[in-house]
Copies of this chain bind each other. A is one copy, B any other.
Amino acid sequence: MTQDKRILITEVALRDGSHAIAHQYTVDQVSKVAKALDEANIPYIEVSHGDGLAGSSLQYGLSRTHELELIEAAVAVCRQARIAVLLLPGIGTMEELRQAANLGVKMARIATHVTEADVSAQHIALTKELGLEAVGFLMMSHMAPVEKLVEQAKLMESYGADTVYVVDSAGALLPHEVKERIRALRQHLGIPIGFHAHNNLSLAMANTLVAIEEGATRIDGSVRCLGAGAGNTQTEVLIAVLERLGLSTGVDLYKMMDLAEEIVAPILQVPQEITRDSLVMGYAGVYSSFLLHAKRAAQKFNIDSRDILIELGRRKVVGGQEDMIVDVAAEIAKSRQEPAVR
């Protein structure tokens, strides 16, 4: 057991937040935000395209600035904070990981779908080989039953991960579901457990507190809620709540409040509210990339896109299976035309 007592925060506004501003970060913005976060004593700052290293593409959204430039800028201004990167095997490669390490990155988070931990083995191994801290990042964790999640987390541990995260990518987990997941991982793993929330159901803070209560010590936050969907656990608010609860993070609350208001808020183009789309995503437990496809299919079949999304969530359809969206829409439309069973 290497569990720390202190809660270690990873700030994700410069990675997950990239989604919220269509990947338009400039070197100047990243330098200012990273410098202020460093001065507030945030221990880890993640910098990458929203979909991880090499995410910049027509499919995932083109970055305004090459992420290696942004990483370099962040590394340059930090005195104590360690820069982290996200890598989704299949999008990013071993080569990008080496480049990031060369720039002074200290932690790599290797992210896979919750049932596909096996694709992370080589990347976790390389992360350790490069002398970086390795984090296994199990996305869409709400889609797997607890036993499956434990099995996948143990795989990541066996590959050498120093920490494994439960990642609620769709903001779909309910507090009791977080509780059973973190509890099970604590029982079955010997490494620290982390939690990454999204606020689509307005439960990011609730779920984060439950995770901490159950022993998670690595927690993600995004300052001013700057993350995909409805954003993440709002970092400066989390610091305030943890102080009120008597839990130590080492982070300076006033400095966090100030940088949120003065440096990060002006970067936001669209407010981080819980809109209909982000709510539907959390309620149905689906990828945000499904939304547009579902709306098109709904129009074609004259049905409600939400019925499609909820059915996709029920069937646990994953990224890459977008062709199923039209099939599901057709089925729903057909079932409505049939006479009701008496």
Interface residues of A (CB under 8 A from B): 174-175, 199, 201-206, 209, 224-225, 233-234, 236-238, 240-241, 243-245, 253-254, 257-258, 260-261, 265, 271-276, 279-280, 282-283, 304, 306
Contact = CB atoms under 8 A, between A and B. Distances in A.
B274 A261 contact: no
Given A260-B276, A276-B257, A279-B236, A241 B202 contact: yes
Nearest to A278: B237
* Of A175, A261, A275, most B-chain CB atoms within 10 Å: A175
10 contacts: A199-B202, A201-B205, A202-B233, A202-B237, A205-B205, A236-B279, A237-B279, A257-B280, A265-B273, A272-B273
Given A201-B241, A202-B205, A202-B237, 20 more contacts: A174-B241, A174-B244, A175-B206, A199-B202, A201-B240, A201-B244, A202-B233, A202-B234, A202-B241, A203-B205, A205-B205, A206-B209, A225-B273, A236-B279, A240-B282, A244-B283, A253-B283, A257-B279, A261-B276, A265-B273
A265 B270 CA distance: 13
Contacts of A272: 271, 273
Contacts of A260: 276
Copies in the complex: 2
B237 A273 contact: no
Nearest to A201: B241
B274 A273 contact: no
Contacts of A204: 202
A245 B172 CA distance: 12
A168 B303 CA distance: 41
A202 to B, nearest CB: 4
Nearest to A276: B261
Given A202-B237, A273-B225, A304 B254 contact: yes
Contacts of A201: 205, 237, 240-241, 244
A203 B241 contact: yes
Contacts of A271: 271-273
Contact of A245 (B174, B254, B280): B174
Given A201-B205, A254-B306, A261 B241 contact: no
Contacts of A224: 273
